[in-house]
Amino acid sequence: MQKPKIVIDNLPEESFFEIYKDEDRMLINHQIRNQNAEKQFFERGIIEQSYFEHVKFNQSDFYRLELTDSIFVGCDFSNCKMEEAVFIDVNLEIARC
C-alpha cells in the first residue's frame, strides 16, 4: 500500500453532505473536519483525494463505497456497514471502528 497522494493544504473545506449533491455520489478533493455524518446511507459512493478529521460516521451504511488516496484522522466508524467497500491507498488513523 502506498501513501495517499494528496496535499491537504490545497483542499477546500466542505461539508460531507456535498456527496449527495453529485448524481454519482462522488466527493473528490475535499477537506472535511469536525462534522457529524451519522446514520448516512448511500450505494456506490466514490471518495478520492480527500482528508477527513474528527468526522462521526456512526451507524452509517456505505454499500460498495470506493475510497482512493484519502486520509481519515480521529474519525468514528462505530457500527458502520461497508459491504463490498474498496480501499486503495487510504490512511486510517481511526478513533473508533
Report CA torsion sign: 53, 79, 90, 92.
Answer: positive
Please give the model's pTM, rounded to 2 decimal places.
Answer: 0.90
> Residue 10 in contact with residue 30, Cβ under 8 Å?
no
Residues 6+ apart with CB under 8 A from 61: 40, 41, 80, 81
What is residue 74's predicted lDDT score, i.e. its pLDDT?
Answer: 95
Instruction: With a cut of 80, say whether residue 68 has pLDDT above it.
Output: yes
- Nearest 5°: the CA angle 50, 57, 78 is 125
Which pLDDT tens digit goes with each residue over 12-66?
A: 999 999 999 988 899 999 999 999 999 999 899 999 999 999 999 999 999 999 9
